[in-house]
Amino acid sequence: MKLEKYGWNQYIEKCSLTLNHDQSFGRVFSEYKGQYKLMTEQGSYLAEVTGKFRHQANGREDFPAVGDWVVCRERPSEHKAAIDRVLPRFSKFSRKAAGSTTVEQIVAANIDTAFLVMALNHDFNVRRLERYLTMAWDSGANPVVLLSKADLCADLDAKVASVQEVAFGVPIITVSAIADTGKEQLGAYLGEGKTVVFLGSSGVGKSTMTNWLCGEIIQKVNAARADDDRGRHTTTSRELIVLPNGGVIIDTPGMRELQLWTASEDSLDHSFTDIETLAVRCRFRDCSHQNEPGCAVQEALNTGALSQSRYDSYLKLQRELAFIRRKNNVQERLKEKARWKKIHKAIRKKHE
């Protein structure tokens, strides 16, 4: 079996190292309490990291995660393998681990395309999509907005237009797994050497689409009650699924609450291009667009050029990002203090 079938591509090729005669490359298909299901050219193995690996790891993010490429040593007779190291990740989706605000949990690694799935019925929420887009830009994967359950939507054009408003330049695809429409457009992102992930709330149809693309029932789907098609958290774990024509899909459990992980300012720029364009004209380079003098964003808000709800979601996201940053770095708090001191000084000067 060629590794391209499992998503091996040029990015990984570039960083791949020379192997010892007893080593080979493998990909982590699933994880359960420190036990990994690995796929190599030879077959599938149950694997663990070596003692040396454990000793040298600094944190949870150093350990293998679903989607990782690793260097391992196979023991075919036992169907087991030992993991020596993890290859550098070219993209990753992370969130805060349960019960902790500062431990990074990697949801999926080495993803080429992230399908941000939103259903065209009750689930439809443009503000939430903005948050998913931010997370996607920060991951290193290319986002594609997937509007699912098109068969349930009567005002498709209006919904697509409202998504276009926030998803600048991001491809938007409408599909219905039930009515079997939109599959060809997805095809461009699938195949050998490609890894895609489905992200989105519970019940939007991620598992239904996985089965649809695989041409067989692989993932469990719960039938919706007639009066309520909201999610039930049917999918509970993540696993790589090999597509019939090669390449892999990762179906994920619906996220109850989207908890961002160290999204950078840079990723914020992508999903709030309109605000960032305005911000170029702010007097202070590091303007927070709240109450600094000479703020172009506040001005646009006053003239109505920028909507209040758009501004509010921008601020909300910024607060969340700032919170995570401060938690990770106490220095941030001191810098913040100094920054405001400078601003107040400028305000005083202006009034003198």
Residues flagged as binding site for GTP: 148-151, 200-208
Torsion of CA 155, 158, 159, 162, to 10 degrees: -170
CA distance 65 to 350: 54
CA distance 137 to 269: 9
Residue 232 is a binding residue for ligand GTP (CB under 6 A): yes
Parallel, antiparallel or unpaired: strands 80-86 and 35-40: unpaired
Instruction: At 127, list the tokens.
Output: 């503000």
Q: CB under 8 Å to 307, separation ≥6 — which residues?
A: none
Instruction: At 175, list the tokens.
Output: 């599909």
**Position among 19, 224, 322, 347 found at the interface with ligand GTP (CB under 6 A):** 224
Residue 235 is a binding residue for Mg ion (CB under 5 A): yes
Q: Which of 132, 131, 179 is nearest to 151 (CA)?
A: 179
Residue 223 is a binding residue for ligand GTP (CB under 6 A): yes
Give the residue with the Cβ less far from Zn ion, 213 or 295.
295
**Position among 144, 282, 306, 317 found at the interface with Zn ion (CB under 5 A):** 282
Give min distance, CB of 236 to ligand GTP, in A.
8
Q: Which of 34, 98, 144 is nearest to 255 (CA)?
A: 98
**Position among 289, 311, 314, 321 found at the interface with Zn ion (CB under 5 A):** 289
Residue 110 is a binding residue for ligand GTP (CB under 6 A): no
Give the residue with the Cβ less far from Zn ion, 153 or 295.
295
Give min distance, CB of 325 to ligand GTP, in A.
29
Give min distance, CB of 322 to Zn ion, in A.
15
Q: Which of 188, 190, 185 is nearest to 210 (CA)?
A: 190
Q: Report residue 76 CA to chain centroid gap.
A: 35
> Strand, coil or helix: what is 82?
strand
- Residue whose structure tokens are 């040029």: 10
Per-position x/- string for 175-204, each x denoting binding to ligand GTP as judged by CB under 6 A, each - no binding: -xxx-----------------------xxx
Per-position x/- string for 301-320, each x denoting binding to ligand GTP as judged by CB under 6 A, each - no binding: --------------------
Number of residues that bind ligand GTP (CB under 6 A): 26
Interface contacts to ligand GTP, rule CB under 6 A: 148-149, 151-152, 176-178, 202-208, 221-224, 229, 231-235, 253-254
**Site residues for Mg ion per CB under 5 A:** 206-207, 234-235
